[in-house]
Each structure stands twice: as C-alpha cells, then as structure tokens.
Amino acid sequence: MLRGLLSFSSMTMVSRVLGLLRDISISHVFGANVATDAFWVAFRIPNFMRRMFAEGSFSTAFVPVFTEVKEKGTHAELKELMSRVAGTLGGVLLVVTALCVLFAPQVATVFTPGAVAEQHKFTLTVELLRLTFPFLLFVSLTALAGGALNSFHRFGLPALTPVILNLCMIAGAWWLSRRLQTPILALGWAVFAAGILQVLFQLPALRQLDLLTWPRWGWSHPPVRRIMQQMVPTLFGSSVSQINLLFDTVIASLLISGSQTWLSQADRFLELPLGVFGVALGTVILPSLSRHHVATDHEGFSKALDWGLRTTLLIAMPAMFGLMLLAQPLVATLFQNGQFRPFDTRMATLSVTALSFGVPAYALVKVLLPAFYARKDTRTPVRAGVASLLSNMLLNGVFLYALYALWAPPGLKAGPLLDGLSKVPGLHLALGMASAVASYINLALLWRWLRRADIYQQQPGWGRHLTRLALACAAMVAMLLLGRWYWPDWTQLQVIGRVWRLAVLVGGGGATYVAVLFATGFRLRDLQHD
C-alpha cells in the first residue's frame, strides 16, 4: 500500500503542479473577469459530474465488484465485466451528454442565474458549456480504465493521466487563444481535446492486461446491475464537497464579477494536499479494504484503515496551517501577474484562507468512505452527505447575510438584497467558510457511524502520534507567523522578491515540521503497513 501510495502520489503531484501552472497561465492571459467566470462555470458543471460519475460514485462502486470478480472468478469473466460496464456506462453518459449539449442554455440558467441578465456572459457560458460537456463522457471511460488498473496495483499511469488535461489547457491559453476571435473559447476546445486523449492514453496498459475489449450493452448483466445499484446511493456520499462547490457556483453568480475565478483558484490550492494524499490514500486503500472484507479479515481491515487515517493526518494538518498562514504569499506569488491585479490577490486570499480550514476533514472523508464502500454499505455515506449538504446550504445563507450586514455600506443595505450582493467585494468568503464547516459535519457523522458499526478497531499508538503531530505543527506555525510578521505585505513586491521569500517560508516551515517530528521519535518505518 505504501508503494502504491508513493506511485499514485508522485504522479498526482506532477498533475497538480501542472494544474497550478495551468491556472497561472489562465490568470496571466485572461485575468479575473466576466470571460474567466464564464469558463470556470462551464468547466465546473461537467467537472462536478465527472467527480460523481467517474472518480466518485462509479469508482467506489466499480472497484469492489471488479476486485471480487478478479479474486474469485476467471479472467474471461473479468474481461466480460469490462466490456459490459464500458458499454453500459458509455451508453448512458452519451445520452446525458447529448441532452446537456442540446439544452445548454437551460443548464446554464439553473447553475448561473446571476448571469442571465448579462447577455455577453450568458452567451459565453452556453458556448463554453457545449464544448466542455463531452469531457464527462470521455473522462468517465478513463476512470473505468483507471479503476481496473488500480485493482492490479498499477496506480502510476491513472494518476498521470490528468496531466494531459493541464497540458492541453496551457496550450489553449498561450497558443490557441491568440488565434480565435473569442479567446476564452480556446479553453473549451482544450478541454474537449483532452478528454479524447485521456481515453487513448489508457488503452495500451489495458491491452497489456488483456482487458481491452469492445464495449457491449450490459444493463441486465448481474455484476453490472450490482455496480449500478451501488452507484445511485454513492452519488451523494462520495461527491458532497463537489455538490457544495456547485451550489457555491450558483450563489457566486449573484456576487461581484470575479468571484467564480477566485473560488476556482482557492480550490486549486486545496487540490494539492487532497489530490496528492487524500484522494491518493482513498484510491490505494479501497482495493486493500475490499480484499480484507472479501476474506473476512477484520484485523487486516482495521489495520489498513488505521494506517490510512494516521498517514492522512500527517499531511493534512500541516497543509491546513500552511495554507492558512501563507494564503496571501501563495496567491500573490503564483497568480498576481499580467491581467491578475493586487485586488484579485486580496479577494482570492479570502477564499484560500476559508477553504483551507476544511483540509483535514476533506482528506479524512476520502479515507473513511472506502471503509463503507468496501463493505458495500452505500446508505451510511448518503445520510452523512445529505446532512452535510443541507448544513452547507444553511450556513451559506447565514454567513453571507452576516458578512453583508458587516461590510455593505448603509446606502446599499436600504436597497434590494440581490442588487447589493453584486456590489460588495469579499462576500465569497462566506461560501468558503460554509463549505469548510459542512465538511467537518460530514466527517463527524461518518466517524460516529463507523464506530457504531464496530467495523474498525483503533490500533495502539494514537496518543503518541497525535502528540508528535501537535508539537510539529505548533513549531511550524510559530516559524510561519514570524515570517509573516517580518514580511507583512506581498501585493506590492516584484515577482522575484515574492518567489524567494515564499521559498524561504515554505522551506523553513516544512523543515521545521519534519525536524520536530523526527526529534519527537517519528521514523519512516512508522509509515509502513504490514
């Protein structure tokens, strides 16, 4: 599992770094404005469904069934399963994609009601949505291939595949945008091309495993029926954070222009710890938990889950404090250039600070969910997910109203609320705050029901592990606070000054954290799992 984690994480790290370069390119070329808001909305809708159908509910339903057939059945049955799942999943999503492309104006109206009154922004959103939505079909087939490869402990290639999307979008921003009458459409074409290339990239590896086969319709095929039955409940359980983000998109469309872009950039910073470690751990641990469950090995199940939880905290806690304290230096250094101004830096910093509070919860949920899905328990995550979703909606309203009451000038407060929301900068902070708190509600409910089900026995050594973690984080926070006090403002610095100062803070904070961990007795062998 550790080898699988390192393989998956290293490839995901490459993808996330390129994803960061992608967002830097978009910010430099386009800035934060109506056009970029339109793109991020158009990309977020199929991307949200991708998290549900591809990386979310489908993967969590497919991998346990695939693993069971792999362990107990023949290779011919495994190949038949691949064929039937590919045909069924592809057929269903082909219809969904066609409908959403056809009714793109109606879909855009639902998810961005604030853009309907702005004809240019709404038209751009519709055009971009028609270009980006087919990505859902292609990336779901990519996830099918990736799930099969992961079950054979080939984690590197699936984790490297998203690099293609980032490279295409970087090329779209710097090269294709200069050749189109409407430059922002280059990003839509880049997403469309990347979807096709990602599918093709996985095919040679499937051929090596003799799993490359023609898709066939298999709605009545028993294993396919089991996967579909388990997918429906997991749509909510595995995608709560994405549903919350999409709900935030609807509210952000009512706020000042640029809010969609600032939220998307904040999400990029969260993707590094979550993608490299949270999602990676969940992906690596699911086949292992499924195998232990099939073999009725309760002790092995508990040890695997315990290892995942400890390893997650080891990364998620310093990531949370680091993102909170270095939000402005990170945004200023990476994005403030070209069309991205100091005002945009201050606004994006608010989003990063708020969302970073939820990093441990986001990451731990990614590890806890496989504990339920490996046992084919899909109802419990749904209950927790629905509670978290409703909490997020309620908290969005509470925090948004509170910030509006604090920050809106008296003249605006006397007028209509919707008009006032689009004129007060910084209100998108409320959306990040609500998402972070809702993620902890989701985590608390999953943890409570996990312990109540008596499927996880806590292993010895947790007290020592948490003590080391607390001391290391405290030392890192002290070092970063000292650095922020010495270098308070980052928006007026030249780029080279921001880069070397950020390098000093990140390097110093990371070195402090690791040094204190080892000084308190932590060793690399503690990461090993038998």
DSSP code string of 34-75: HHHHHHHHHHHHHHHHHIIIIIIHHHHHHHHHHHHHHHHS-H
Structure-token pair, residue 316: 């998620």
Q: What is the pTM of this model?
A: 0.73
276: amino acid identity, one letter: V
Give how far Cα 352 sits from Cα of 91, 158, 222, 265, 266, Å.
39, 28, 45, 8, 5
- Whole-number pLDDT of residue 403: 92
Give how far Cα 457 sits from Cα of 79, 307, 462, 463, 485, Å.
36, 12, 12, 15, 44
| Mean pLDDT, the chain cut into blocks of 10 residues (530 residues total) | 62 75 88 86 80 65 80 84 88 91 90 79 91 90 84 76 90 93 94 93 88 84 81 63 73 85 81 64 62 61 81 89 93 84 89 91 85 78 86 92 89 75 88 92 91 80 91 96 92 88 94 94 69
- Whole-number pLDDT of residue 437: 94
- Whole-number pLDDT of residue 369: 82
How many C-beta neighbours within 10 Å does residue 417 have?
A: 13
Query: Could you tell me where the DSSP H helices lie in 417-528?
Result: 417-421, 429-453, 462-486, 495-519
DSSP code of 112?
-
- Whole-number pLDDT of residue 247: 80
Q: Which of 270, 240, 242, 239 is nearest to 45 (CA)?
A: 242
Integer Cα distance of 291 and 344 in angstroms: 48
